[in-house]
């Protein structure tokens, strides 16, 4: 499952999408909008066709690199309030060590190369949060 | 020939539009297109070094030659979040 969507992410659905009988470990990462005095929400902007393509390539690379069985990534676009999940990543593997490693690596790469930008929405003028 | 230029985040705000139609001579490279865009929108100039370039959703080098109908994206650094 690789999706970019406006709607709230159904975490259980993402987890279920990677379940397999031969997977003894599922690692889940939730990226949430953190409370900050100047931030009431984050607005996510995405270059969708390139983001989907990049995510698909990343997932394939992670599966080969770590030998994991399944990876799903769902990212939100638009406004996400404080406390909301902006990204959910689930990674299933035979054993937990490769599931943890693949989840961490994939999330770092998502942050590094997938064309998604966020702007802080707060009581004052919105500003684009630097990398 | 004509290409579409896509702009995001800071760049979109500076230019005031997310998409521009741009007419070019045949054989123009991505780098030459970027120079033309920066000349028209000088407030983008300070961002030139960190700009990533993509054609038809794939990252390219600035010496790539453009073709009719290409979609060229000028991409600011992505959101990051180092920790």
CA distance A110 to A49: 15
Spatial CA neighbour of A67 closest among A114, A30, A18, A101 = A101
Give the 3-state secondary structure of residue A124.
coil
Residue A131 confidence (pLDDT): 46
* Residue B31 pLDDT: 94
Q: Which residues of B touch A29 (CB under 8 A)?
A: none
Q: How high is the pLDDT of residue A39?
A: 85
Q: Is residue A31 part of a domain?
A: yes
CA A99 – CA A56 distance, rounded (Å): 18
Q: How many CB atoms lie within 10 A of CB A116?
A: 26
For strand B19-23 and strand B71-75, is the pairing parallel, antiparallel, or unpaired? unpaired
Mean pLDDT in order along chain A per 10 residues (131 residues): 97 98 98 89 94 96 97 97 96 97 96 92 64 46
Q: In angstroms, rounded to a whole number, what is the distance separating the alpha carbons of residues A61 and A69?
A: 12
What is the greatest pairwise CA distance in chain B?
Answer: 45
Task: Tell me, yes or no, whether A95 lies in a domain.
Answer: yes
The structural domains of chain B, with segments of one domain joined by +, span 2-75
Number of domains in chain A: 1
- Output b/e per residue, A41-51; b: 16+ Cβ within 10 A: bbbbbbbeebb
Distance separating alpha carbons of residues A51 and A113, to the nearest angstrom: 9
In SS3 terms, A36-69 reads as ECCECEEEEEECHHHHHHHHHHHHHHHHHHHCCC
A contact test, residue of B78, B80, B82 with most A CBs within 10 A: B78
CATH number of the domain at B2-75, please? 3.10.20.30
Residue A62 lies in a domain: yes
Is A77 a member of any domain?
A: yes
> Is A113 within the bounds of a domain?
yes
Q: What is the pLDDT of residue A127?
A: 62
pTM of the entire predicted model: 0.88
User: Residue A20 sits in which domain range?
Assistant: 2-126
Can you tell me the distance from the alpha carbon of A58 to that of A110, in angstroms, rounded to the nearest whole number?
8
- Residue appearing with tokens 């690692």: A27
pLDDT in tens, B6-59: 999 999 999 999 999 999 999 999 999 999 999 999 998 887 778 899 999 999
A23: tokens are: 């997977």
For chains A and B, count residue pairs whose Cβ atoms are closer than 8 Å. 53
* Domain presence at residue A131: no
pLDDT reported for residue B46: 81
Residue B83 has pLDDT above 60, yes or no: no
Cβ–Cβ of B9/A117 closer than 8 Å?
Answer: yes
CATH number at residue A58: 3.90.1170.40
């Amino acid at each position: 499952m690789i999706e970019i969507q406006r709607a709230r992410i159904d975490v259980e659905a993402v987890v279920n999408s990677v379940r397999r009988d031969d997977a003894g470990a599922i690692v889940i990462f939730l990226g949430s909008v953190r409370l900050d005095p100047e931030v009431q929400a984050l607005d996510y902007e995405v270059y969708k066709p390139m983001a989907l393509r990049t995510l698909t390539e990343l997932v394939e690379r992670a599966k080969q690199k770590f030998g994991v069985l399944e990876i799903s990534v769902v990212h939100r676009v638009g406004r996400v309030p404080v406390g909301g999940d902006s990204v959910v990543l689930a990674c299933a593997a035979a054993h937990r060590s490769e599931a943890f490693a693949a989840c961490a690596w994939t999330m770092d790469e998502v942050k590094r190369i997938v064309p998604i930008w966020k702007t802080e929405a707060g009581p004052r003028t919105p500003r684009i949060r630097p990398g | 020939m004509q290409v579409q230029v896509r702009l995001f985040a800071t760049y979109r705000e500076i230019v005031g539009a997310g998409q521009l139609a741009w007419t070019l001579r045949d054989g123009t490279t991505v780098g030459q297109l970027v120079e033309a865009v920066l000349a028209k929108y000088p407030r983008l100039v300070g961002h030139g070094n960190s700009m990533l370039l993509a054609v038809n959703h794939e990252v390219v080098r600035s010496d790539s030659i453009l073709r009719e109908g290409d979609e060229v994206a000028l991409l600011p650094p992505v959101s990051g979040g180092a920790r």
